Structure 1
Amino acid sequence: MHIGFLTPEYPNPQSTASGGLGTSIKNLASSLVAKNIKVSVFIYGQKQDLIFKENGISFYFIKQKKYRFLGWYLYRKYVQKVLNVKIQKEKIDLIEAPDWTGITAFIKLCCPLIIRMHGTDAYFCELEGRKQKYRNRLFEKMALKSADALVSVSTFTAEKTKEIFKLKQAITVIPNSIETAKFTPSKKTVVRNRLLYFGTIIRKKGVLELAFIFNEIVKSNPEAELWMIGKDVLDIFEKKSTLELFQEKLSLQAKQRLRYFPEVSYSEIRKQLAEAAMIVLPSFAEALPMTWLEAMAMEKAMVTSNIGWAKEVMINNKTGFTENPKNHKAYAEKIIKLLQDPELAQQMGKAAREQVLKKFSTEIVVKQNIDFYTRIVEN
């Protein structure tokens, strides 16, 4: 079997910036190759056209083209042409694409097309309570309804997307996976009282609520420190740096206990995860977050949000604590409890890794994907 992935991002030094979507595709692609399945990855919107092979995966970078009129349509037709040539030449059995902004609207392929729901723009707009561009909604709806099969990374995302677009197709649920051999418990001594947030510095990740939560924490524990790692983005509502908005909400005492780092390497993320006493991820909008799986796989105690998908990942009071990020005091109290009780934090961290090994390891999830792909190809 030969599987092709169409994606706007992938963690490779030669491609444009990548986030959780790219990481999830990389984990799946690598695990498929390990099972002797051929994989080709088509990355659109790139700075240049490139073709190369790496770690058993064939890569095709598709350069972003500029058009005077109807660029959204003409670029899709260009991507379609590139895909169909390779599908026929390389005998690709199916193409998988993400749901984000409906890239496959107007694209007709000579093999089955699967769309994996990592969260449409409509989905995130719904969760964030903001208005969506009409064109994005139309393209996403067209792409989903014309797909040969749909798969979602969480039940919550599947049900919410089905409701938003009034979909009638069946949706298979297969979670994101993580290479647990790469994210393992560290023997490093943790830095007592250090909290770590990692991910994009953006409103939907609960970053602005985290400011108020951290204010509460330093009142009770003046030794607490917050390390934040991630790319700062322009806030969608206030049109200014989210990091600046975050800092404006901090008390003077809390500001003195903050350290911020822009994007860092994967290896540096693992180092910082290992050193943190615990992880805080108060997100309002996810499909099934890779950051949560990475921290859990490293046996880190966590306090996360309790919204939607959270119950499919975390077990409250066992793998960590879940709480509504808007309830600043209650959220802070759970963090303080773990800082004060390292034994409980360690116990929850171990339970978190067990949860990942049982439900989200590539060894388990790759089989679910192969069975799913086989059914689509055979049908």
Structure 2
Amino acid sequence: MMRIGFICSEYPPDRAGGIGSFTYDLAHKLAEHGHQIWVIGLSDRDARENDGPIHIRRIRRAARQQHTYLEAFRDRWRLSRVARQIANQQALDVIEAPEYNGEAAFFHFPKRTRCKLLTRYHGGCTSYAAMKGMNGSRLSRYFEGRTIKSADYRISVSRFIEEYTRKSFGKEGRADITIPNFVDTEIFAPVPGMVRDPHLILFLGKVSVNKGAPQLFAALPEIFRQNESAWVELIGPDSYDGPGGTSLLSHLMGQLDSRWRQRIVYRGAVKREEVQTLYRQAGCCVFPSIAESFCIAAIEAMACAAAVVVSPIIADGEAVIDGESGYICDPQDRQLLSQRMLWLLEHQESARQLGLRARERVIERFSLPTVVRQNEEFYQKCVLQEQIR
């Protein structure tokens, strides 16, 4: 049994995001395995709470209207002070913090302290800026750099994000291990008897440049010309990646021929249960991201036995084997992107077989039991190495 802490300022219900959902699921699974768990994070309020077996300590952050550079430093200093107190009082073995936003920038445990700091690369502000060829915020780079440098051990959710972290921070950005994110393959699963729509292309994710929305829209006219029944459903929030910070969805829709627009349905964000149904109904799912640390949506779709078309950064040499568990396609190649989606729509039995093999691969590599076990084993290795020292 280990005593494990997580630094997470998105832990539900506070500002729930991808890192918050990941931490919630992992923390509860570890608790089921008998480990004791603490979650410490910045919040809009001070609170000591329990989420079932999870102990939560929320620390009030500076109000947004008062948030200056100085307050950003103070927030992280208060967070590190409280986390050190909890680590000492509760005799924690490890504390894990995301590199994103650098909230563990001022964690300095004395060498005699048993608790070790792990940093997990989910995809920081600096890495995403590098993917876009931009410099990014100097303050974010400073905080994220200090978080990475302070860590005793480093985990990356994909080889792709580790590569950009190393490019941004040098040799200190090298991860000790790559452990992917996970999906609950009992929840995300095909349902016997559910019939797929052979004309439906599903895009799930933020309508943004990072998610490859412009590349998808560039491929649609060819699809619509060749398949008169094909239509697209967009699930996820809009972004302000359009010209001058405007709506990207409105910009992309405006560039399409008017006859194609009625074949695109924008649903916005939907509940998790509805997402599962959509994965099971789609003729194919497309994830043409150009910047992504780990696309959990693609893994969820594969777990539901959907045929997927993904970009190389999502495949990452692990998630998708081209032609076996999905198709890998450079999103900049609009002709190939449209051909892959058209082929899947027009060859539904082959797409079904592709989807079944995709689910097998997810169960083998990304299922909750598999990935939780990998995390447990790595935590234990870190603790044992420290005891050996």
> TM-score of the superposition, structure 2-length normalised?
0.91
* SS class of match (1:303): strand
* Percent of paired sites with the same residue: 30
Q: Aligned to 2:287, which of 278, 281, 284?
A: 281
1:129 counterpart (123, 130, 133): 133
**Structure 2 residue aligned with 1:141:** 145
Once the two structures are TM-superposed, the CA of residue 226 in structure 1 deviates from its matched residue by 0.8
- Comparing 296-305 with 185-194, greater Cα deviation is found at 185-194
User: In 1, distance between residues paired with 2:264 and 2:47?
Assistant: 41
Is 1:50 the counterpart of 2:51? The answer is no
Query: CA separation in 2, counterparts of 1:236 and 1:48?
Result: 35
2:304 equivalent to 1:298 = yes
SS in 1 for 2:149: helix
Q: Please give the alpha-carbon distance, in whole angstroms, between the structure 1 residues aligned to 2:272 and 2:294.
A: 19
Q: Tell me, what secondary structure is at the counterpart of 1:142?
A: helix
Asked if residue 59 in structure 1 is aligned to residue 56 in structure 2, the reply is yes
Please report how far the alpha carbon of residue 287 of structure 1 lies from its aligned counterpart in structure 2 after TM superposition.
Answer: 1.5
Q: Does the aligned pair in 1 maintain the 2:158–2:316 contact within 8 Å? A: no
Alignment partner, residue 116 of structure 1 = 120
- 2:155 equivalent among 145, 151, 155: 151
How many residues get paired?
375
Partner of 1:40: 38
1:269 matches 2:275: yes
1:250-304 deviations in whole A, cap 9, x for unaligned?
2222211111122222112112222222111100111221111111111110111
Equivalent residue of 1:215, what SS?
helix
In 2: Cα distance, 1:131 partner to 1:251 partner: 36
Alpha carbons 2:295, 2:314 under 8 Å: kept: no
Name the structure 1 match of 2:178: 173
Give the superposed CA RMSD.
1.9
Distance of 2:314 and 2:327 partners within structure 1: 15
CA distance in 1, matches of 2:79, 2:199: 50
Letter in 2 for 1:18: G
The whole-number CA distance in structure 1 between the counterparts of 2:274 and 2:47 is 28
Say which SS state the counterpart of residue 314 (structure 1) adopts. coil
Q: How has the CA–CA distance of structure 1 residues 229 and 49 changed in structure 2, closer, same or farther, with 3 Å as cutoff?
A: farther
| TM-superposed deviation, 1:311 | 2.2
Distance 2:36 2:105 in 1: 26
Alignment-derived partner of residue 85 in structure 2: 85
Out of 26, 30, 38, the residue aligned to residue 28 of structure 1 is 26
Q: Determine the C-alpha separation between the residues in 2 that align with 1:170 and 1:211.
A: 36
Match for residue 236 of structure 2 among 230, 235, 249 = 230
Q: Distance in 2 between matches of 1:331 and 1:52?
A: 48
Determine if contact 2:160/2:316 at 8 Å carries over to the other structure: no
**Residues 326-376 of structure 1, C-alpha deviations (whole Å, 9 max, x = no match):** 111110100000000111110110111111111111211122111111122
2:255 corresponds in structure 1 to 249
| Equivalent residue, structure 2, for 1:73 | 73
Letter in 2 for 1:165: F
Distance 2:264 2:60 in 1: 40
Output the amino acid matched with 1:348. Answer: L
Equivalent residue of 2:216, what SS? helix
Contact 1:176–1:288 (CA under 8 A) maintained in structure 2: yes
**What residue in structure 2 maps to residue 16 of structure 1?**
15
Question: For residues 33-63 of structure 1, what are the alpha-carbon distances to aligned partners after superposition, in whole Å with 9 as ceiling and x for unaligned?
Answer: 221112222232x333333323432233333
Alpha-carbon distance between aligned partners in 1 of 2:358 and 2:315, rounded to the nearest angstrom: 16
Provide the residue aligned with 2:370 in structure 1. 364
Instruction: State the secondary structure of the residue aligned to 1:191.
Output: coil
| Distance in 2 of aligned mates of 1:43 and 1:193 | 45
Give ranges in structure 1 of 5+ residues lacking alignment: none
CA distance in 1 between partners of 2:53 and 2:126 (Å): 35
AA of the residue aligned to 1:358: E
1:330 maps to 2:326: no
Contact kept in structure 2, 1:158 and 1:171, CA below 8 Å: no
Q: Secondary structure at the match of 1:348?
A: helix
Amino acid at match of 1:24: F
In the alignment, which residue of structure 2 is the partner of 1:5?
6
1:195/1:51 Cα in 2 relative to 1: closer, same or farther (>3 Å)? Answer: farther
Q: Give how far 1:211 is off.
A: 0.9
For residues 16 and 209 of structure 2, what CA distance do their matches in structure 1 show? 19
Query: Whole-Å Cα distance in 1 between the matches of residues 41 and 227 of structure 2?
Result: 46
Match of 2:244, SS? coil
- 1:56 maps to a residue whose letter is P
The residue that corresponds to 2:98 in the other structure is 98
Asked if structure 2 preserves the Cα contact closer than 8 Å seen for 1:155 and 1:309, the reply is no
1:24 and 1:178 in contact (8 A); partners too: no
Deviation track 1:83-107 (CA, whole Å, cap 9, x = no partner) reads: 2232233332211111112221123
**Secondary structure at the counterpart of residue 317 of structure 2:** helix
Segments of structure 2 that go 5 or more residues without pairing to the other structure are none
Q: 1:288, 1:309 within 8 Å by CA — same for their partners in 2?
A: no
1:182 aligns with 2:187: yes
SS of corresponding position for 1:318: coil
User: Matches of 1:309 and 1:354 in 2, distance apart?
Assistant: 15
2:167 pairs with one of 160, 163, 172: 163
Q: Hey, what's the Cα distance between the residues in 1 that align with 2:158 and 2:370?
A: 16
1:57/1:125 Cα in 2 relative to 1: closer, same or farther (>3 Å)?
Answer: same
